[in-house]
């Protein structure tokens, strides 16, 4: 916060109401007014600038610096990561690996409800755990479209499925980052990880059922109940055990691989009597050797390998102060402001994905480097509008943070006293809706949750876990997530339609987390 006070009116309720304008206006623009995402983002950026500058008295230099910082971070690392992920997918398609991979999925089962469980849920969670930052939504939505799902339908399903994995994305960073805050009161990433097992497993277990219901109703659930049960039970139990006994780092990766593997083995012995096909036509199954199948998945093996290396503490230490690669981090203060910018050129997850792409090209004879450059150019052309939108959204989040709007909202909610636990997840929901990131959400609101918990006598770790869970649910309709999803399936400009498709599920899950957190607060 770079302002003198977060309560410019001397009345917290009024200040918080004004601070909420960007959030409420964004929702109205995407739902009631049905504006394109880029237009809604730019309009809200302008309105937020006016509120921060004229009402909350954020200095002009810092207000402008907030927008510049948002622009830079929207391009690097977020835009960089998204472009590299989609480029890797296009390389897999051009090299022919994707056709074999898709055939392998169809060979496991032609039933598209089961394909949704394999790709939309399991593989989505795996990529969230390995990379995060929109990678799973971008890749899995395109995979589903290639299997016959409608573009916006595929995007919606991937957004909802991501609700089972977002809390532990990118090697558990959203929860792991808590240790860097030094919050005290025994609030550690491990304690938050453990207590999250009281809430997240309930959501995780139900999401596969919800996904199948969305495409084939209760009839579909009944027909493939054994397969749904295998996925839900395996993923939920494995993640709960890992979060309780190991911690957040592998809480997406291992459960998703287990669920995918066990489901594939189960389907060798069991298949639904009725094969559900969205188009009414079955896909041709082309047999491939084991070595061909293994090679077809290699872009994603490489993606995981490089991202895991980039996440190792020893590797990260190379970029720390005094590290061998410290020189690769560009640092500067935005002129006219007090806001700094760090551009991590080599340490970015996007660079790990870039290496996965280059390695795939080098080890594949069916695609040449010149062709891959053409694919990269095409990817940039497809995604520049969504990246501008994401940059504008981050600019809004920065204005709200530096201008004290976020603190005003948090402090207003924290005055609720013993009722605060029912509102605690809403703070997390707001944080992710505005920033698109559970990491940023916990950075913004975890300290407020801890302070409120100590005041009202509720376990602070419970409230931080609620903050995380509420944030994950907001990813279903976060403008940043919506922008990535629509762009990935070639439907840029239809952000309002996709938001309308997912918003009721976000609100429904949020209501559950709010009520459940309030119930748990009586025991902690």
pLDDT at 447 over 80: no
pLDDT at 223: 94
Q: Which of 282, 261, 301 is nearest to 147 (CA)?
A: 282
Question: Region 279-289: what's the mean pLDDT?
Answer: 66
* pLDDT score for 415: 81
Per-residue tokens: 395: 């600019």
Q: What is the pLDDT of residue 255?
A: 92
Higher pLDDT, 313 or 7: 7
**pLDDT confidence tier of residue 280, bands split at 50, 70 and 90:** low
> 357: pLDDT confidence band, cut at 50, 70 and 90?
very high
How far is 403 from 423, CA to CA, in rounded Å? 23
**Residue 282 pLDDT:** 59
pLDDT of 453 > 70? The answer is yes
Q: Which residue has the higher pLDDT, 11 or 101?
A: 11
In sequence order, which residues have a C-beta less than 8 Å from that of residue 218 and are 6 or more positions away? Answer: none
pLDDT per residue as tens digits for the range 375-384:
999 989 887 8
Of the ranges 90-104, 306-320, 335-349, the best mean pLDDT one: 335-349
Q: Name the phi and psi angles at 157, rounded to 5.
A: -65, -40
pLDDT reported for residue 412: 83
Reported confidence tier of residue 209, pLDDT bands at 50, 70, 90: very high
Structural contact between residues 165 and 252, judged by C-beta atoms closer than 8 angstroms: yes
Cβ atoms of 76 and 128 closer than 8 Å: no
Q: Measure the CA–CA gap between 115 and 93, rounded to whole angstroms.
A: 19
User: What pLDDT, on the 0 to 100 scale, is given for residue 68?
Assistant: 95
- Residues ≥6 apart with Cβ < 8 Å to 128: 135, 136, 162, 165, 166, 168, 169, 170, 252
Distance in angstroms (rounded) separating the CA atoms of residues 86 and 486: 13
Among 36-50, 68-82, 354-368, 497-511, which is the least confidently predicted range?
68-82
Does residue 45 have a pLDDT over 90? yes
What pLDDT is attached to residue 180? 59
Q: How far apart are CA 261 and CA 256, in angstroms?
A: 8
**What pLDDT sits at residue 154?**
94
Task: Name the nearest CA neighbour of 22 among 34, 11, 30.
Answer: 30
The more confident residue out of 338 and 139 is 338
The highest-confidence range among 167-176, 390-399, 437-446, by mean pLDDT, is 390-399
HEC secondary structure over 279-327: CCCCCCCCCCCHHHHHHHCHHHHHHHHHHHHHHCHHHHHHHCCCCCCHH
Within-domain flag for 7: no
**Is residue 459 situated within a structural domain?**
yes
Residue 5 lies in a domain: no
pLDDT-based confidence at residue 285 (cuts at 50, 70, 90): low
Is 37's pLDDT higher than 80?
A: no
Residue 387 located in a structural domain: yes
Partners of 344 in the β-ladder: 329
In a domain, 6, yes or no: no
- Assigned token pair, 352: 């790990």
List the structure tokens of 141: 């939505």
Tally the residues of the chain. 524
The Cβ-side half-sphere exposure at 120, using a 13 Å CA radius, reads: 33
> What are the residues whose beta carbons fall under 8 Å from the beta carbon of 303, sequence distance 6 or more?
85, 88, 127, 130, 131, 352, 353, 356
Q: Is the model's pLDDT at 25 over the cut of 70?
A: yes
39 bridge partner residues? none
pLDDT, mean over the chain: 87
133 has a pLDDT exceeding 70: no
As a whole number, mean pLDDT of residues 22-37 equals 81
pLDDT tops 90 at residue 18: yes
Mind giving me the DSSP string for 158-186? HHHHGGGTGGGHHHHHHHHGGGGG---TT
| Residue 208 confidence (pLDDT) | 96
Element (H, E) at 342: strand 340-344
Considering the domain boundaries, does residue 159 fall inside one? Answer: yes
pLDDT digits (tens, 9 = 90+) for 461-494: 999 999 999 999 998 988 888 988 898 888 888 8
Does pLDDT of 137 surpass 90? no
According to the model, what pLDDT value does residue 131 have?
A: 66
Q: Percent of the chain scored above 90 by pLDDT?
A: 41
Lowest mean pLDDT among 237-241, 379-383, 443-447: 443-447
Mean pLDDT of 244-266: 87
**If we measure between CA atoms, which residue out of 104, 160, 97 comes closest to residue 128?**
160
Q: Within 10 Å of residue 1's Cβ, how many Cβ atoms?
A: 15
pLDDT confidence band for 283 (50 / 70 / 90): low
Q: Is residue 198 part of a domain?
A: yes
Residue-range definition of the domain harbouring residue 505: 12-280+289-318+327-520
- Look at residue 284 in the predicted model and tell me its pLDDT: 60
The number of domains in the chain is 1
Query: Quick check: 228 pLDDT over 70?
Result: yes
Helix (H, G, I), strand (E, B) or coil at 383: helix
Average pLDDT over residues 433-455: 75
Strand-strand pairing, 340-344 and 329-333 = antiparallel
DSSP per-residue letters across 213-263:
HHHHHHHHHHHTHHHHHHHHHHHHHHHHHHHHHT-STTTTHHHHHHHHHHH
Instruction: Using the predicted structure, report yes or no on whether residue 365 has a pLDDT greater than 60.
Output: yes
Asked whether residue 434 carries a pLDDT value surpassing 80, the answer given is no
């Amino acid at each position: 916060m770079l302002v003198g006070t977060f309560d410019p009116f001397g009345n917290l309720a009024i200040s918080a109401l004004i601070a909420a304008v960007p959030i409420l206006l964004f929702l109205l623009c995407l739902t009631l007014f049905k504006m394109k995402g880029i237009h809604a983002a730019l309009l809200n950026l302008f309105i937020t600038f006016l509120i921060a500058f004229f009402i909350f008295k954020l200095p002009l230099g810092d207000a402008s610096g907030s927008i510049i910082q948002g622009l830079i971070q929207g391009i690097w690392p977020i835009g960089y990561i998204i472009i590299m992920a989609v480029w890797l997918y296009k390389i897999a398609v051009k090299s022919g690996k994707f056709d074999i991979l898709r055939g392998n999925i169809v060979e496991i089962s032609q039933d598209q409800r089961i394909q949704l469980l394999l790709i939309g849920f399991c593989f989505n969670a795996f990529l969230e755990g390995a990379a995060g930052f929109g990678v799973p939504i971008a890749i899995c939505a395109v995979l589903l479209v290639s299997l016959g799902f409608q573009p916006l339908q595929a995007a919606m399903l991937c957004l909802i499925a991501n609700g089972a994995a977002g809390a532990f994305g990118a090697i558990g960073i959203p929860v792991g980052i808590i240790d860097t805050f030094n919050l005290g009161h025994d609030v550690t990433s491990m304690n938050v990880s453990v207590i999250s097992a009281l809430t997240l497993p309930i959501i995780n277990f139900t999401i596969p059922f919800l996904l199948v219901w969305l495409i084939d109703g209760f009839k579909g659930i009944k027909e493939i109940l054994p397969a749904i049960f295998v996925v839900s039970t395996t993923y939920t139990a494995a993640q709960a055990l890992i979060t309780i006994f190991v911690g957040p780092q592998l809480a997406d990766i291992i459960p998703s691989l287990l669920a995918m593997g066990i489901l594939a083995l189960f389907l060798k012995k069991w298949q639904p009597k009725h094969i559900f096909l969205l188009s009414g036509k079955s896909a041709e199954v082309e047999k491939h050797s084991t070595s061909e199948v293994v090679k077809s998945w290699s872009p994603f093996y490489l993606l995981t390998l490089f991202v895991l290396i980039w996440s190792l503490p020893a590797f990260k230490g190379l970029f720390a102060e005094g590290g061998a690669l410290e020189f690769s981090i560009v640092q500067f203060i935005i002129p006219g402001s007090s806001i700094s910018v760090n551009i991590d050129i080599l340490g970015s997850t996007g660079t790990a994905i870039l290496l996965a792409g280059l390695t795939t090209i080098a080890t594949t004879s069916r695609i040449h480097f010149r062709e891959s450059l053409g694919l990269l150019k095409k990817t940039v052309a497809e995604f520049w509008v969504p990246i501008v939108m994401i940059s504008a959204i981050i600019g809004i989040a920065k204005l709200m943070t530096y201008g004290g709007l976020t603190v005003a909202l948090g402090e207003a909610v924290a005055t609720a006293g013993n009722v605060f636990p029912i509102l605690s997840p809403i703070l997390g929901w707001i944080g992710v809706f505005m920033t698109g990131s559970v990491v940023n959400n916990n950075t913004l609101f975890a300290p407020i949750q801890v302070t409120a918990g100590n005041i009202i006598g509720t376990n602070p770790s419970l409230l931080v876990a609620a903050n995380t869970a509420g944030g994950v649910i907001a990813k279903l309709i976060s403008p940043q997530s919506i922008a990535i999803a629509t762009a990935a399936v070639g439907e840029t400009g239809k952000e309002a339609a996709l938001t309308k498709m997912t918003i009721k599920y976000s609100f429904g899950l949020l209501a559950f987390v709010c009520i459940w957190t309030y119930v748990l607060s009586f025991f902690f």
